[in-house]
Amino acid sequence: MYTTLSVLLILSLSFLACEGGDTCCSQPCQNRGVCTAIGQDSYECDCTRTGYYGQNCTTPEFFTWLKVSLKPKLNTVHFIMTHFKAVWNIVNNISFLRNSVMRYVLTSRADLIDSPPTYNSAYGYKSWEAYSNLSYFTRTLPPVPKDCPTPMGVRGKKELPDVKVVAEKLLMRRKFIPDPQRTSLMFAFFAQHFTHQFFKTDMKRGPAFTKAKNHGVDLSHIYGEELERQHKLRLFKDGKLKYQVLDGEVYPPIASEVQVDMHYPPHVPESRRFAVGHEAFGLVPGLMMFATIWLREHNRVCDVLKQEHPDWDDERLFQTARLILIGETIKIVIEEYVQHLSGYHLKLKFDPELLFNQRFQYQNRISAEFNTLYHWHPLMPDNFHIQDEVYNYKQFLYNTSIVTDYGINNLVESFSKQIAGRVAGGRNVPLALVMVATKSLENGRQMRFQSLNSYRMRFNMKPYTSFEELTGEKEMAAELEELYGHVDAVELYSGLLVEKPRTNAIFGETIVEMGAPYSLKGLMGNPICSPEYWKPSTFGGKVGFDIINTATLQKLVCNNVKGPCPIASFLVPDGVDSVATTINASTSHSGSKDMNPTLLLKERASEL
C-alpha cells in the first residue's frame, strides 16, 4: 500500500515516548486497525477484517498482499482515466464495458466510507451515541486524543501556529490564479447551492453539529428543513410552490408575504427579500439564481404530472415532483458536475441498477471532514462579471436586484463564461473570504482533526514525507516547516489548500481521493437509488422517470427560461477570456454601497 520507507517512518511513531499522554497518540495501528490504549504505557491494535495482522496491523495476509501488489497506484489510475481518449471513446460506446468500469468506480469509492458511521467529535471510540445522534456530523477518523504531547499526536510543535498567520502566509490570494480546467462560476455557484442542503453547521452548538435533519440529497434547500417552513413555501394547489411574477417571469415569493425567516441585512428592501428553502440564500445572487431555476422546475414538473394524472391531489403531486427533482439533481451531479471535476475520459453514468447486485447500504451520514474538505473558497474570483458590468464583493453580496434586473438567462450566460479560481496550490483565497478560511482552521482544531497525512493513509494514499513533496515547490514548503515543524503535523484544511495540484487540474490528489468516496456514497446511497424506489411508478410513471433519465444542466435551464436559451456550462468555453482588470464601482445596479463585505461574511461564515 505504501513504500517500505513510508511504512517504516510511520511505524517509528509507535515507539516515540508519549510521556503523560494516550499511548494511541502516535497512531500506531495501520491499515484501518483500531487502537485501544491499555494503561499508561501500552496499546492494542484490533486488526479484525483489515486484511492485516501483527502488533500494528502491518503484516498483510496472502490475498491482501496479492491484491496490493497488483493494484496500481491512485495517481496511475488517475493518469489512465485522464489520458488515452481514443480508448475511452471505445469503452464509452460499449455498454457492458462502460457499465463494468462505472460499477468499479462506484464500489471502490463507496467501500472507503464506513456504513454505519463509527465516530463523532465527542467520542474517539465506537458508541451508540456516535451511531444514533443525527445532530452530529459523523467522523471518518476519531479525534486526536486530548492528552497527547502535541496537537497532532506526537509530531510537530507543542502549539499549532496562529490561524491568522497560516491564512495570511499560505492561503490568502496574492493574484487571482484561474483554474486550468477552466471551471466556470456556474459550477462554483452550483456547488455552493447543492451542498448547502446537507452542510448546515449548527454554530450555536459548535462545528461538530449539524442543523440538517437528513444527511444527504433531500432538496431541503429548496423545500425547507422543517415541515413548517415547507408548508409556508407551498401553494397547496396542484403540488406547486409559491411564487411571484416579475416582468412575465417566475421568481421566489417575498419573505414577509409568506412569513418565512430569511437572513437579510436591514438595507435590503422588503420587495427584494425573496423566500426560499435555505434561509441564507439571499447572500449571493448565484445562489438565488439556482433557487429560482429549481423553483420553476418544481412547478413545471407538477404541470407535467397534473396532465398525466389529473386525478392526483396536491399532496401526491408535490411529493412525486420532489422525488423527481432529487433524481434530476443526482443525475446532473454525477454525469456533469463530478464528470467535470474528475477530468476522466470515461463517461460517468447515473444508473442505480449497477449496484443492485452489490453489497451496498442505502443510507448516508455527512462527515465533518467532508464538510471541511468542501470549503472551496478559492473558486471565487476577485469580482463578478455580468454582461457589461463588473461587481465587487461589496456590490454583489445580498444584491438580489441582480437576479431580477438581469434575469436568469443573462446570469446563466455570464456565470458560464467567467472562469473560477484554482482550489489547490495555495494562496488563492480571496481577501474577502480569508476570514472564512480562518474560521475553517479554528473549527478543525476545535474538533481535533487528525493530520493531512493521517487522512491520506486512511484513504489509501502514501503519506507525504517532506514539505516540498506536499507543495511541489520550495517557498511555501519553507513556510509550512516554520509553522508546523513536521510534515506529519500539517492540518487537514491548510494541507488540502496548499497541496500541489494534479497536472492541469483544479485540485490536488487528496481532495479528489477523499472527496469522491464521500460524494458517490452520498449520492448513490440516496433512497431513490434503492431497488425499492428506483422504478417508474415511484416517479409517476414513464413520464416522470424520463424526466430524471434525460436530465442535464442545459435542459434544466432551457426548460425554465423564456426566449433564447443561454449556454449553461460548468466549463468556460474555449476562446472566452472573462477575467477583466477594472471594476465599475459606479454601477447603478449595486444597491449595496454601505455594506462591509468582510463583516457580512463574518456574520454568515457558518453558512458559506
Query: Hey, how many other C-beta atoms are within 10 angstroms of the C-beta on 55?
Result: 15
Question: Tell me, what's the pLDDT at 5?
Answer: 43
Asked whether the predicted pLDDT for residue 102 surpasses 80, the reply is: yes
86-100 burial string, b = 16+ CB within 10 Å, else e?
eebeebbeeeeebee
Residue 561 one-letter amino acid: V
Residues 127-144: tens digit of each pLDDT:
999 999 999 999 999 999
Asked whether the predicted pLDDT for residue 481 surpasses 70, the reply is: yes
Asked whether the predicted pLDDT for residue 593 surpasses 60, the reply is: no
**pLDDT tier for residue 11 given thresholds of 50, 70 and 90:** very low
Residues 345-365: tens digit of each pLDDT:
999 999 999 999 999 999 999
Section 507-511 average pLDDT: 97
Inter-residue contact 154 to 26 (CB < 8 Å) = yes
Asked whether the predicted pLDDT for residue 103 surpasses 60, the reply is: yes
Task: Report the chain's C-alpha Rg in angstroms.
Answer: 24
Asked whether the predicted pLDDT for residue 278 surpasses 90, the reply is: yes
Asked whether the predicted pLDDT for residue 23 surpasses 80, the reply is: yes
Give CA–CA dist 348/346, Å, rounded.
Answer: 6
**pLDDT tier for residue 17 given thresholds of 50, 70 and 90:** very low
The position carrying cell 455498454 is 95
537-546 burial string, b = 16+ CB within 10 Å, else e?
ebbbeebbbe
**pLDDT tier for residue 147 given thresholds of 50, 70 and 90:** very high
Asked whether the predicted pLDDT for residue 163 surpasses 50, the reply is: yes
Given phi > 0 = left and psi -120 to 50 = alpha, else beta, which region is 397?
beta
Question: Tell me, what's the pLDDT at 574?
Answer: 85
Q: Which residues pair with 210 in a beta bridge?
A: 201
Cα–Cα distances (Å) from 56 to 7, 463, 543, 589, in that order, read 11, 17, 56, 63
Section 484-504 average pLDDT: 98
Q: Which residues pair with 34 in a beta bridge?
A: 46
Length of the chain: 608
**pLDDT tier for residue 245 given thresholds of 50, 70 and 90:** very high
Name which residue leads in pLDDT, 406 or 12. 406
Asked whether the predicted pLDDT for residue 107 surpasses 70, the reply is: yes
Name which residue leads in pLDDT, 386 or 41. 386
Inter-residue contact 250 to 299 (CB < 8 Å) = yes
Asked whether the predicted pLDDT for residue 319 surpasses 90, the reply is: yes
Give CA–CA dist 291/196, Å, rounded.
Answer: 12
What's the mean pLDDT when you consider all of the chain? 92
Asked whether the predicted pLDDT for residue 221 surpasses 70, the reply is: yes
**What is the reported pTM?**
0.93
Name which residue leads in pLDDT, 486 or 10. 486
Known catalytic residues are 196, 374
Question: Tell me, what's the pLDDT at 597?
Answer: 52
Asked whether the predicted pLDDT for residue 579 surpasses 90, the reply is: no
The position carrying cell 423566500 is 275
Question: Tell me, what's the pLDDT at 4?
Answer: 45
- Antiparallel, parallel or unpaired: β 244-246 and 249-251: antiparallel
Asked whether the predicted pLDDT for residue 441 surpasses 50, the reply is: yes
Residues 320-332: tens digit of each pLDDT:
999 999 999 999 9
